[in-house]
A and B are shown apart, each in its own frame.
Chain A
Amino acid sequence: MLSPTFLSKLRSLLPPHCVLNEREDLLPFESDGLAAYRNTPDVVVLPENEAQVAAIMRLCHQHKVAVVARGAGTGLAAGAIPGDGAVLLVLAKLNRIKAIDPLARTAVVEPGVRNLAISEAVAQHNLYYAPDPSSQIACSIGGNVAENSGGVHCLKYGLTVHNILKLRAWTIDGQLLEIGSDALDAPGYDLLALLTGSEGMLAVITEVTVKLLPRPERAQVVLAAFDDVAKAGAAVGNIIAAGVIPAGLEMMDRLAIQAAEAFVHAGYPLDCEALLLCEVDGVNEEVSADIYTVRQVLEASGAIEVRTAESEEQRLRFWAGRKAAFPAVGRLSPDYYCMDGTIPRAQLPHVLKRISEMSTEYGLAVANVFHAGDGNLHPLILFDANQPGELAKAEAFGGKILELCVEVGGTITGEHGVGLEKINQMCVQFATPELTRFHEVKAAFDPDKLLNPGKAVPELHRCAEWGAMHIHGGQLPHPELPRF
């Protein structure tokens, strides 16, 4: 609980409408995009300018009160859930686009600006901001930086870390950090990379300078159906080996295809085990050359059907099914749980087979949607939260999928972040020395552990306790840790 003295000091820093602590006002902030995790915040602050953010940080630091930063609340890893006794710092009101420089191809924006709003604001200059997480209509750029968000186009255009130049951020003791520059690099350590994806654990961002790219002259998509997921997986590698870097390369399995088709009638073939969507973009002639290559490779890789979108309308229809895959799967089941592992692409057939075996074992269906180009797998586990024990079963199943991703040389999170959700699986991916270094990186910025405590990096005792319950192949993870 926060002390009345602290709360009154907090109120003195902000206009009355920017501090919420009535229960009905707090409820909308009890979870982020992963609704299975909830905790009602003690207090929510919505600063309207950078000076207020700095003042809040200083006050919290002085009183040793935890601060949890939140953008639009679309995160999928429970990273913005406030712990008890923490201040939830909502940056949504810092939503101005401060400057657009079309010639230098940059925009300076506040953290609450929506991802898509940047591209909309610069469209008149024929520019756009490349990272496009599926929540781009709602998610904010501050959250994107905190999570190092990706999207459909990462293989070609990179993640958030590749598309930002400069940050203004505040440490917990209220010091301003100006990281990066208007040039392409800055002196010293690459703190821009370190802060990107740090999940609100190191500093709070109040300004982001993003890189803008010229809109591609043309984009075209090819759809290919396969009677075998292994063939589809191999086709992905073959396209890349042929020297094409697609702008987007997506794969869906049978259940995902059926669900998407029933929902949006994209015209997908239904008698197939896997569907690939391969989009190429760029200069007109480059697209023509790449489409030719892609079609040849798909046919040689055993596709049973290959279709090229002949119009913009058809291109959008091909994509509509993929983009609606999550809600489409949502119609099949009262609830679904979206996982986010990344694997080396060659492991795809093996991983899908194991997921299918686990699906039988847990008695829960899975639809697989896959950013095939960059190896980022989104299995959607179908369950019914109203059935006692099903959520726990879905979570356990999801955890097993993430451990499988690590086992084949991948990672537990490709773009959603660790948050609270995957904190146990961090113990699988990293050994004690690495986790210790992560804690030390944190301590270099925030020795009192006030920023987003309990997220992203597990305490070592947590790994010891959790590891004791998950003995794998007779080997106890983190054997050097004391257990009680």
Chain B
Amino acid sequence: MLDVYIERIRSAHEHNTPLIIEGCGSKAFYGNPDEGEVLSTRKFTGVIDYQPKELVLTARAGTSLAEIEALLAEQNQMLAFEPPHFGGPATLGGSIAAGLSGPRRPYAGAARDFVLGVRMIDGIGQPLRFGGQVIKNVAGYDVSRLMVGALGTLGLITEISLKVLPKPAAETTLQFELDEATAIGKMNQWAGQPLPLSATSWHAGLLTVRLSGAASAVQSAQAKLGGEAVKDAASFWQRLRDQTTPFFDTRSSTSRQSLWRLAVKPTAPPLTVSNRLGGDAQWIEWGGAVRWLVSDRPAATLREAARAAGGHATLFRGDTPADGVFTPLAPALLTLHRNLKQRFDPRGIFNHGRLVPEF
């Protein structure tokens, strides 16, 4: 199978054939639109190695998250970055290439934090191996992490080694009726205290907080924080992770509003740029560090709001703005991106324009 990929990529390199790397397509909406022949990882599946005592799992790119999570669950372990499935049979390769993480991210780490090594094929069809299967490794540049979130533009990831973690013994989710500014304040104050936080959300006047850890620790934190215990909390966090709650569904809207992801400094005060027609226009996650907005304001307005709040804005779902879905890079950074792309994929065959419109 690997040989088939290598052959296909060498041929694409030779003939300048653009390729679109795809797992199951659950994140096809993410990034700038690209065109080309589909190079699917879907059949390149299987967990190659899983050592619960080493906290390390290695799997082929096309392996579904569901399969990996089920295998981990048998040993009471998990992918701590809670990768979104977006309602599809999301693959590990796609999750790592997209670099997206779920509700646990601010408290446990992002996808990139758990990647220990990758095998990949670059744009000339050269198979490569970076990193490894150990937690501490500083030999050579960290190309494995460079691949996370690169949206396949530097190469086809074929195999990934990840650090996994034990599942918490107990989890409780609490809810508090609070206005936005107070909720942002609470999320940040609590994150600065030794509390077993593992997820936070604010939407429509409700702050929702998940606590994870030893049963006694969760109980004690609950006593400290108060709030109302939420029933069916697992489903609440899963719907938020996969964006299957109605809030995130902007496609059915006739008003052509877009879903924007504003990543900001977690303490940034409430943003005033959302303007959903009817209904609540904002969902806050990640301890205040992500503000999902439904808005039809111009990209420049939202980007300026995010910049002023210490971060950046991404059009998540909707019509691609003229300058692309991601915040354009500063000139010095753009040069480096161009140079790196040139070195890994000299003819620009992989996912053309998906990350940076120019290449």
Binds B, one of A83-91, A99-107, A380-388: A99-107
Docked complex Cα distance between A126 and B194 (Å): 9
Taking the complex as formed, is B182 at the interface, i.e. its CB lies under 8 A from any CB of chain A?
no
**Contacts A285-B217, A444-B339 given: A342-B192 contact, CB under 8 Å?**
no
Taking the complex as formed, is B329 at the interface, i.e. its CB lies under 8 A from any CB of chain A?
yes
User: Which residues of chain A have C-beta atoms less than 8 A from B106's C-beta?
Assistant: 184
Beta-carbon contact of B141 and A346 below 8 Å:
no
**Contacts A189-B337, A214-B194, A444-B340 given: A409-B356 contact, CB under 8 Å?**
no
B243 to chain A, nearest CB (A): 17
Residue in B closest to A154 when the chains form the complex, CB atoms:
B136
B165 to chain A, nearest CB (A): 7
Beta-carbon contact of B194 and A445 below 8 Å:
no
Residue in A closest to B224 when the chains form the complex, CB atoms:
A283
Q: Scan residues 178-220 of chain B and give those whose CB is less than 8 A from a CB of chain A.
A: 185, 188-189, 191-196, 213-217, 219-220
Taking the complex as formed, is A324 at the interface, i.e. its CB lies under 8 A from any CB of chain B?
no
Residue in A closest to B153 when the chains form the complex, CB atoms:
A189
Residue-wise interface mask of B (136-152) relative to A, using a CB-CB cutoff of 8 A (1 in contact, 0 not) = 11111111011011100
Docked complex Cα distance between A442 and B340 (Å): 9
Docked complex Cα distance between A185 and B310 (Å): 11
User: Which residues of chain A have C-beta atoms less than 8 A from B213's C-beta?
Assistant: 282-283, 286
B129 to chain A, nearest CB (A): 7
Determine which of B130, B165, B266 lies in contact with A245 in the assembled complex, contact meaning CB atoms within 8 Å. B165
Task: Give the bracket for the number of chain A residues in contact with chain B.
Answer: 35 or more
**Contacts A105-B192, A444-B340 given: A194-B169 contact, CB under 8 Å?**
no
Taking the complex as formed, is A375 at the interface, i.e. its CB lies under 8 A from any CB of chain B?
yes
A54 to chain B, nearest CB (A): 12
Beta-carbon contact of A286 and B130 below 8 Å:
no
User: Which residues of chain B have C-beta atoms less than 8 A from A179's C-beta?
Assistant: 333
Taking the complex as formed, is A238 at the interface, i.e. its CB lies under 8 A from any CB of chain B?
yes
Residue in B closest to A203 when the chains form the complex, CB atoms:
B336
Beta-carbon contact of A342 and B169 below 8 Å:
no
Beta-carbon contact of B136 and A375 below 8 Å:
yes
Beta-carbon contact of A440 and B343 below 8 Å:
yes
Docked complex Cα distance between A433 and B339 (Å): 18
Binds A, one of B53-61, B227-235, B249-257, B294-302: B53-61
Taking the complex as formed, is A36 at the interface, i.e. its CB lies under 8 A from any CB of chain B?
no
User: Which residues of chain A have C-beta atoms less than 8 A from B132's C-beta?
Assistant: 409-411
Q: Scan residues 139-158 of chain A and give those whose CB is less than 8 A from a CB of chain B.
A: 147-148, 150, 154-155, 158
**Contacts A177-B333, A243-B169 given: A430-B192 contact, CB under 8 Å?**
no
User: Which residues of chain B have C-beta atoms less than 8 A from A289's C-beta?
Assistant: 169, 214-217
Q: Scan residues 114-159 of chain A and give those whose CB is less than 8 A from a CB of chain B.
A: 125-127, 147-148, 150, 154-155, 158-159
Determine which of B75, B138, B221, B263 lies in contact with A185 in the assembled complex, contact meaning CB atoms within 8 Å. B263
Determine which of B136, B140, B219 lies in contact with A438 in the assembled complex, contact meaning CB atoms within 8 Å. B140
Beta-carbon contact of A413 and B139 below 8 Å:
yes
**Contacts A342-B137, A371-B136 given: A190-B145 contact, CB under 8 Å?**
yes
Taking the complex as formed, is A232 at the interface, i.e. its CB lies under 8 A from any CB of chain B?
no
User: Which residues of chain A have C-beta atoms less than 8 A from B167's C-beta?
Assistant: 243
Beta-carbon contact of A185 and B217 below 8 Å:
no
Residue-wise interface mask of A (157-186) relative to B, using a CB-CB cutoff of 8 A (1 in contact, 0 not) = 011011000000001000111110111111
List 8 A-B residue pairs with CB atoms under 8 Å apart, sorted by A's residue number.
A147-B138, A183-B311, A193-B146, A198-B141, A283-B195, A342-B136, A411-B134, A444-B339
Residue positions of A touching B, CB distance < 8 A: 101-105, 125-127, 147-148, 150, 154-155, 158-159, 161-162, 171, 175-179, 181-191, 193-194, 196-198, 201-202, 214-217, 237-238, 240-241, 243-245, 282-286, 288-290, 342-346, 371, 374-376, 409-418, 422, 426, 429-430, 433-434, 437-438, 440-445, 456-457
Give the 7 A-B residue pairs with the shortest CB-CB distance, closest first: A182-B310, A183-B311, A237-B53, A193-B145, A444-B339, A183-B263, A285-B216
Residue positions of B touching A, CB distance < 8 A: 51-56, 75-76, 99, 105-106, 109-110, 112-113, 122, 126-130, 132-143, 145-146, 148-150, 154, 165-167, 169, 185, 188-189, 191-196, 213-217, 219-221, 263-267, 286, 289-290, 309-312, 314, 326-330, 332-333, 335-337, 339-340, 342-344, 355-356
Extra inter-chain contacts (10) besides given A179-B333, A434-B140, CB under 8 Å: A103-B188, A187-B312, A189-B150, A215-B194, A240-B166, A282-B213, A285-B216, A286-B216, A289-B214, A426-B140
